[in-house]
Amino acid sequence: MKSPVMTRIQRLRLRILEVDPSLLALRMSGCVVVSMIVVAGVMTLIGKAYPLPRPAYVLALIATMQGTLQVNDRTESARAKTRIYAVIASFVAIAAIAAAHDSLRIINILLVIIVFAASYAARFGTRWRAVGVFAFMCATVAAFLQEDERDLWSAAAALVISAAVVHVLRHFIMPDDPAREFRHLVAAALSVSKQLRRVAGSAMPPKAASPRAGKRQMADLHLVTRTLGADIRACQASLPLEVPDQHSAVTAITLRLLDLHFAAETLVARITRREREAADYHEGSIAKALQDVQDAEGALNAAVATLPPTFTAAGGAKAPPAPTGILPRRGEWLRDQTLRQSLQVTLACALAAVVGEAVSSQRWFWAVIAAFMIFNNTKSGAAVAIKGLDRAWGTAIGIVIGIALATLTHNHLFWLSAALAISIFATFFIARVSYVAMSLFLTIALSLIYGLIGIFTPELLVLRLEETAVGVASGMLAALLLLPISIQQQATTAMNALLSALGDLLLSAAETPEGSEGHPLALKATAVDHALEGVLTAFAPLRTAWSFGTMLTSGRDVLRQAQLMTYTARRLERSIRHHPPTPDEIQAMRALGERLKAAAGAPASAEARGTSAPTGAAANMSGPDDMTASSLAILTRTLDKIETERHAAP
């Protein structure tokens, strides 16, 4: 009999698909490597006719890397504008650094200003966040290279050449294909769903596996389920698709994604219940759940088939939100997330510059970059600390491997170049999977670059580790001491967003109770899914090895409550779509929706405070197929528990 347990290769594939379902990182890594090779070639050809200083080559490669990775606007024209703004901002920053005339004090002051501006720019949307990071990296490298005012023309040339080459490559040679990328996302979700059915099917009959194999089987089942959820959320994030006259097709796809997610979680819930309560196990219920998943796969395939061969504006970065004002509103300065993190990053980089310069007057910029980067995509002090430890640990391992590779490839240009290309590719491909691995491959790549230009020494790599440690320590201190945000605070904010999304779902259902394929509840249910992702992100630092198992029972309870309410929201949406609710259920949905909004921080109406959803006997009177009443009862009980726990908290 074939073993039901997945192989290590299959598990690795699932873990990669969980964090990169469309394999976007794979394509972006290839783009980075190709772009850097082409830019290096173009700069070399130009340098033969018009000699360029060495800093221009380094700046061109850094700008190429940032232009490929950071610029993610939805349309090509928008990306072109962002690159133009990035080039202008970077040149202004470089010119300011060059005007300092090697005065380290003035350079440090300028860097502090640039760091704050780069961080605060994220307040104004995706475009300006990209411009800020681009300008910071170029300015820091220019400070290290001691850019001279007489060479500013070469810096400008390097920035323009880099932007032009990246634009041509991304627009004409390696263009985005939204239709193909969306279909790849759907294909990945369907592939994982089929694997879920295989793993779940192997759980029948109940005693087909040993206890040890059964535990491994359940772990595999939950891994496949998490991966499928990530894939489905990625598909949802690519909607709505801007397809002329295809709104019904888009709605159908949205509904079919919700159906597949609901069917998959129902299947897992039934298998888990069988494992926990053997007496309640009914093989037929699991067989039906397996068939429901297969039917949902077919329905999703059919819905996607109605889309035209090509379309635009699917996926990618969302349009930048409208600015909320240059400054936070009065009374909210200390609570403003962008301002708070900008101050933290600025303090961290200032500390890193001072201490890093004391460690090495030549390589201090490593500390500044490390301090800046560990704040990327973090919202709490714990997340910054975890990311900093990951960067330091990856750098330490990378130094050992880098010394070995640089030594082995010495005087072997072909093998050195091949190893360098692989390392650069791996750096960006693995970034979404593991920050430790990204830091490891980045350090290996730098080791090989130093070997290529003839300045490699083991002492230089050890110095990099020291400067990285300085940057990490500076970032951790700033995040934990200056206006810190705890995991609990972030989790509460994320949970409130989930409760608010659930409230919107119920209030929308109460206003438009009729069932139809164009029901607006589909988008509301999708918003609940994305709110759950925020809760999972908030607790992510406590699920890493650095947490040493410190997640408390209360944290696990919050996660279980969030997952239960999200699953119940899908269940409710599906029920209302097929069976319009009764007047009593409509009243209960309106009241519970108001309660959920109140729990999230919005004021509840008087009607909500005096009414509740069906619980107790009312819920028990509903039949096993009355999903609307039972879903409302589950949401009510869960909300009661959340409110009780919050009132009991100190």
3-class DSSP assignment, residue 334: coil
Q: Worst-scoring range by mean pLDDT, 15-24, 35-44, 543-552, 607-616?
A: 607-616
Give Cβ neighbours of residue 310 (< 8 Å, ≥ 6 apart).
177, 179
Most confident of the ranges 245-259, 333-347, 460-474 = 460-474
Write down the residue that tokens 């309410």 correspond to: 565
CA separation for the pair 230, 237 (Å, rounded):
10
Q: Worst-scoring range by mean pLDDT, 78-87, 101-110, 449-458, 551-560?
A: 551-560
- Confidence band for 223, pLDDT divided at 50, 70 and 90: confident
3-class DSSP assignment, residue 242: strand
Most confident of the ranges 29-33, 309-313, 372-376, 580-584 = 372-376
CA-closest candidate to residue 433, choices 92, 26, 27: 26
Q: What is the CA radius of gyration of the chain?
A: 27
Q: What is the DSSP letter of 600?
A: T
Amino acid at 621: M
3-class DSSP assignment, residue 649: coil
Q: Which tens digit of pLDDT belongs to each residue from 167-219?
A: 999 888 888 787 888 888 899 999 999 999 988 887 655 544 566 776 787 88
Higher pLDDT, 93 or 72: 93
Higher pLDDT, 426 or 322: 426
CA-closest candidate to residue 522, choices 256, 172, 319: 256
Q: At what angle do helices 381-408 and 458-481 cross, to 10 degrees?
A: 180
Q: Give the DSSP per-residue string, 548-571.
A: TT---HHHHHHHHHHHHHHHHHHH
Q: Looking at residue 312, what is its pLDDT?
A: 60
Q: Give mean pLDDT, residues 511-536.
A: 76
Q: Which tens digit of pLDDT belongs to each residue from 373-414?
A: 999 988 888 899 999 999 999 999 999 999 999 999 988 889
Q: Give mean pLDDT, residues 552-575.
A: 84
Cis peptide before 240 (omega within 30 of 0): yes
Q: What is the DSSP letter of 312?
A: B
Task: Return the structure tokens found at 314.
Answer: 């699917």
User: CA torsion, points 324, 327, 328, 330, in degrees to nearest 10?
Assistant: -120
- How many CA atoms lie less than 13 Å away from 408 in the CB half-sphere? 12
Give Cβ neighbours of residue 347 (< 8 Å, ≥ 6 apart).
474, 478, 482
Q: Give mean pLDDT, residues 567-571.
A: 91
CA separation for the pair 352, 375 (Å, rounded):
14
Q: Looking at residue 210, what is its pLDDT?
A: 63
Please give the mean pLDDT across all residues of the chain: 84
Would you say residue 545 has pLDDT above 90?
Answer: no
Q: Worst-scoring range by mean pLDDT, 170-179, 290-299, 314-323, 544-553?
A: 314-323
CA-closest candidate to residue 195, choices 5, 25, 2, 22: 5
pLDDT over 90 for what percent of the chain? 46
CA separation for the pair 368, 375 (Å, rounded):
12
Are 66 and 133 in contact, with CB atoms under 8 Å apart?
yes
Q: At what angle do helices 211-237 and 8-19 cross, to 10 degrees?
A: 30
257-278 burial, b if ≥16 CB within 10 A, otherwise e? bbbbbbbbbbbbebbeebbeee
Could you count the other beta carbons within 10 Å of the beta carbon of residue 109? 14
Write down the residue that tokens 């970032």 correspond to: 475
Write down the residue that tokens 């039917």 correspond to: 295
Q: Looking at residue 554, what is its pLDDT?
A: 61
Q: Give mean pLDDT, residues 593-616.
A: 64
Q: Worst-scoring range by mean pLDDT, 12-26, 404-418, 547-561?
A: 547-561
CA separation for the pair 216, 292 (Å, rounded):
25
Q: Worst-scoring range by mean pLDDT, 18-22, 110-114, 185-189, 289-293?
A: 18-22
- Confidence band for 87, pLDDT divided at 50, 70 and 90: very high
Residue 378, beta-bridge partner list: none
Would you say residue 83 has pLDDT above 50?
Answer: yes
